[in-house]
Structure 1
Amino acid sequence: MNITQEKIDDLNAVVKIAIAPEDYTPRVDKALKEQAKKANLPGFRKGMVPVGHIKRMYGKSILVEEINNMLNENIGKYLTDNNVEILGQPLPKVEDEKDFNWDGNDTFEFAYEIGLAPAVDIDITSKDKFTQYNVTADEETLAERITNIRKSYGKMTNPDVAAEGDVLYADLAELAEDGSVLEGGITSTGSVRTDLVSDKKILKSLIGAKKDDVIELDVQKAYGNDAAAIAKLLNITDEQAAAVKSKFKVTVKNVNRLEEADLNQEFFDKLFGAGVVTDEEGFKTKIKEEIEAMFKQDAERKLQNDIYTQYSEQTKMQLPDEFLRKWLKATNEKLSDAELAEGYNDFAKNLKWTLIENKIVKDNDIKIEYKDVFETAKQRLDAQFRMYSPQALPEDQLAQYTTNFLQEKDNVNRIFEEVKAAKVFDHIKSVITLNDKEITFKKFAELN
């Protein structure tokens, strides 16, 4: 067997493989004998079918299978042995395919296109400065969070008159241009949430509404052309909602108001457990701690995004774009040209960052061990289980779930990449200069 590489340029090459009869004949003969032992054909005792008969019946298909096996085994070995770093997988050159007799005497020649990984030159030093935000809860944000929590544990009431934040449970009917109900138009019974109404004039018309009141509503204007919100209100698809132009007759059936839960010991115990919080000040402190812990995660994500953006932009590299587009099409049969054109830039950006990550891992001898993957997977599963029950699973049971979870190759790969990304960012943060800055959540939100 002869394998050669023909370099087209710095990013593209062609690997050629020649397989002579002396390379494949021993494998084919062995496969024929194994097939003869297993064959169960009329007129022959099982396992006693002559090899010659098997060859006449199945010789060509066995030859094709063995040639394919040899190609798959040897092209990968060649690339590994010769330290050829590629992107994607080798693609057969269709225009170079030849007609073979498949009679056991052919010398097979195949050619594969490969996309070569570019050299990555990244320089990370303490001169690189980034801002590490410490996000604090301002009074407005804290009050908003407390109100939401109290409402989620509150009770529903039906006041006579609607106020801001109430929900109007109503019948809705599409109107014709003359203001009459459109025959065959959209009708629905739904909840008009005043907290989602962005138009101040429309909001004012809804406040003060009572049962049996009739209101004319421009849903597009009311909801700021939010197709998802309109679709939910009218019980139609997002596409249909986006196309709605008509106004609607709203007949109020009821006014619903979610009253906030009382700040008492029963409420505190429901939230935090018996006796953990005993007064309003402790409740406020606890909520502040929880939301600032969430803000810390948001700040960490921003730092990671800032690092990703800066090093992605300053690390110049070319990709074998033409090859990669061809490879994406070859490995995703349903991918349309339009989808490829729309999504390729994001694919290329992610691929470039992966190459940067791999370079950092290699240059700094960063180890990603199975125990790291296992612990991260266990944390993710624990968080999922806690969404449904505050009671933690026993450690041995959680470990067994984690072991089962990691039996799936896709799960292992996904968690491995997560661990690698975390270790790379930890390394970068240990080198660069981080300037701490305290900022309120409102100001922080404006940065994103």
Structure 2
Amino acid sequence: MNISHQNIDNINANISVEITPEDYNPQVDKAIKDQAKKAKLPGFRPGMVPTGHIRRMYGKSILFDEINKLINDKIAEYIGEQKLEVLGQPLPADGETDEKYNWDFKDTFNFNYEIGIAPEFETPFTGETEFTEYDIQADEATLTERIKNLRRSYGKMTNPEVSEEGDVLYATLKQDKEDGIEKTTSVRTDSIEDAKIKKSLVGLKKDDTVKIDVKKAFKVADLARILGINEEEAENLDVTNFELTVKNVNRLEESDLNQEFFDKLFPDGDVTTAEQFNEKVKEEVENLFKQNAAQRLRNDMYTFGMEKVDAKFPEAFLKKWLQATNPNLKAEEIEEGFADFLSNLKWTIIENRIVTANNLEVKYDEVVDLAKERIYAQIKMYNINEEPTDEQLQQFAMQLLADREQANRLFEEVKALKVFDQLKNTVKIKSKKIDYDKFEKLDSK
């Protein structure tokens, strides 16, 4: 078998394959014999069908399949030997057809394939590249809000006579028109968009009535949920003035700072005072801030890499490949998402070159550990007191990794973390303290 390639330009090439009967017939003969052993045909005992009969009935289809397998395997070997950084998979060149061959086990086949090649560029991260890693400080407002939320999570529901901001009103909303919408529902006063309307819902008692403009009061999605209609109907309400009549005032009172509350959050018994509780909350918040800071640094590195690498891609080939591998996609759909596809491809190439240059390796145990970490976080999110055993986490991780899509996602996540750690060891990192409110404004830029 002869395989060669010819560059069209720096990012496009053709691969030519010549395959003779001597190359493919041994593999085809073996496939026919295997088929004969498994075939169940009328007039023949199982496993006793003559190979000649199989050749006459199925020979051409077997020949076609085996030649495709052989070519695919050999092209993959050739690409590896030549160290070609191919994008996508080889595609039959325009004008290629099987009709010119007899498929009689005597043909010499010549096939041509198009391939896209990754552009050449240097990764832009060096010892002179500088990034800022933020040390986010937990301010009093953030800590106070977190403590409030925790206390409310374990608080109790009361029914005060007069409403305050933050209460939930169980009320009837009636559209101000004949045969209009009427719905009894719960309205969270702290979810109201308009400050004037929010103020009008404070100081209400049972059976009190106020008029509100629901389009000003609620986001479309919230309004649809409250009124029991779809978002399009909510968006197109012809009358937005509603009469709100209070049926009941509900208030979630904060839990007392006592040992019962501490033990619900920290069952190990290492929190016995309000001061220790505050320290634990501060530690939790600052650990979360560390994650935010790391994500910010990763985003900054990604943005820097994407801006510094100026590379051309074999766009015509890639669109053709996307269409070939996703036949249900329309051309306009491919065009619409192509810019995002190229961005993802560009960063993937940058990542892969960092992996190769530094001999980074993703080990199976690392993927399992990340799966266990994600599962643990999910369990604790829904039940802070549940402490799964390592055996349980291992079992859940195995179930998760049995899904190929999930396994690939976790593999890519581990690889991304390794690349991030490598970059941190390559570039200059400047640490800078910053208050959380100022950090949030950085993210909004």
Q: Same fold (TM over 0.5)?
A: yes
1:425 maps to amino acid? F
Q: Distance in 2 between matches of 1:26 and 1:235?
A: 69
Q: 2:184 aligns with which of 183, 186, 189?
A: 189
TM-score normalised per structure 2: 0.91
Q: CA deviation at 1:268?
A: 1.5
For the Cα contact (< 8 Å) 1:120–1:355, is it kept in 2? no
Q: 2:265 aligns with which of 271, 277, 281?
A: 271
Tell me which residue corresponds to 1:427.
Answer: 422
1:388-424 alpha-carbon deviations (Å, 9 max, x no partner): 5544433345445445544554444323222221121
**Aligned pair 1:293/2:287, yes or no?**
yes
Tell me which residue corresponds to 2:355.
Answer: 361
Q: CA deviation at 1:374?
A: 3.4
Alignment of 1:90-109 (within 5 A): 90-99=90-99, 100-109=101-110
Cα distance change, pair 124–290 in 1 and its aligned pair in 2 (3 A): same
Q: CA deviation at 1:303?
A: 0.9
1:28 maps to amino acid? V
Alignment of 1:12-411 (within 5 A): 12-99=12-99, 100-173=101-174, 175=175, 179-181=176-178, 183=179, 186-223=181-218, 226-247=219-240, 248-273=242-267, 275-388=269-382, 390-403=385-398, 405-411=400-406
Q: CA deviation at 1:438?
A: 1.5
Percent identity over the alignment is 52
1:168 maps to amino acid? L
Which moves more between the two structures, 292-301 or 129-138? 129-138
Q: Distance in 2 between matches of 1:365 and 1:119?
A: 19
For the Cα contact (< 8 Å) 2:124–2:308, is it kept in 1? no
Cα distance change, pair 271–395 in 1 and its aligned pair in 2 (3 A): closer
Q: Distance in 2 between matches of 1:293 and 1:115?
A: 44
Give RMSD over aligned pairs: 2.3
1:10-63 alpha-carbon deviations (Å, 9 max, x no partner): 111122223233322222222222222332222223333232222222122212
Q: Distance in 1 between matches of 2:398 and 2:268?
A: 34
Q: Distance in 1 between matches of 2:92 and 2:247?
A: 67
Which moves more between the two structures, 396-405 or 24-33? 396-405
Q: Distance in 2 between matches of 1:310 and 1:264?
A: 49
Q: Distance in 2 between matches of 1:284 and 1:316?
A: 50
For the Cα contact (< 8 Å) 1:120–1:359, is it kept in 2? no
Q: CA deviation at 1:86?
A: 0.6
TM-score normalised per structure 1: 0.90
For the Cα contact (< 8 Å) 1:220–1:245, is it kept in 2? no
Matched residues, number: 440
- Structure 2: tracts of 5 or more residues without a match: none
1:18 maps to amino acid? E
Q: 1:444 aligns with which of 419, 436, 439?
A: 439
Q: Distance in 2 between matches of 1:433 and 1:48?
A: 72
SS in 2 for 1:251: strand
Which moves more between the two structures, 315-324 or 212-221? 212-221
Q: Distance in 1 between matches of 2:164 and 2:400?
A: 49
Q: Distance in 2 between matches of 1:221 and 1:289?
A: 39
Q: Distance in 2 between matches of 1:145 and 1:338?
A: 47
